[in-house]
Amino acid sequence: MVDTSPFGDDPDLSPEEQKQLGSFKKAFINAHIVEENGEEWAFNEGCLSIPNVREDVFRPEEVTIRYSDENFNEVTETYTGLMARVIQHEYDHIEGILFTDKISSLKKRLIKGKLANISKGKVSIDYRMRFPEVKGRK
């Protein structure tokens, strides 16, 4: 499921992008990226799985994805811009990839402490999150 509605009121986006992303919710069943095209461009990405961490990630500007919809009809669609980026980001999760896997070694070293704190549950967030059990932590 891809839900871009949180982008609907992002002041950094154009009104057109806010409108497009603000109402997009779609199920992508057994999704497969068919093709990625265009020049890679940077965008400061974040993720609910890694709270309070954001970094510039480069991704192609266009993605073509094949999937089954909620009625199990096979669909192939091409997305561009920020919509393509969100789909690529979410698809990466299926492949076991987080946006931090796509940043430079230097940036990974710079956020190492933040990631360690997140894994220990030492993070302030306003949504429910499950952390691994660690001996001595309550």
* One pLDDT digit (tens) per residue for the chain, 138 residues: 999 998 899 898 899 889 989 999 999 999 999 999 999 999 999 999 999 999 999 999 999 999 999 999 999 999 999 999 999 999 999 999 999 999 999 999 999 999 999 988 899 998 888 877 766 655
The verdict on pTM exceeding 0.85 is: yes
Token readout for 87 is: 């789909």
Q: Element (H or E) spanning 88, and its range?
A: helix 81-94
What does the pLDDT read at residue 129? 86
What does the pLDDT read at residue 134? 66
All residues at 6 or more sequence positions from 79 whose CB lies less than 8 Å from its CB, including other chains: 62, 63, 64, 65, 87
What does the pLDDT read at residue 30? 97
**Per-residue CA distances from 23 to 9, 20, 26, 76 (Å):** 11, 6, 10, 20
What does the pLDDT read at residue 136? 62
Boundaries of every domain in the chain:
2-103
What does the pLDDT read at residue 132? 74
User: Which CATH code is given to the segment(s) 2-103?
Assistant: 3.90.45.10
Task: Enumerate the β-bridge partners of residue 65.
Answer: 33, 77
Handedness of CA 29, 31, 37, 42 (dihedral sign): positive
Question: How is residue 115 annotated by DSSP?
Answer: H
Task: Enumerate the β-bridge partners of residue 43.
Answer: 57
Other beta carbons within 10 Å of 85: 20
Nearest CA to 76 among 111, 31, 37? 31
| Helix, strand and coil in the chain, % to nearest 5 | 35, 35, 30
Residues assigned a catalytic role: 90
What does the pLDDT read at residue 45? 96
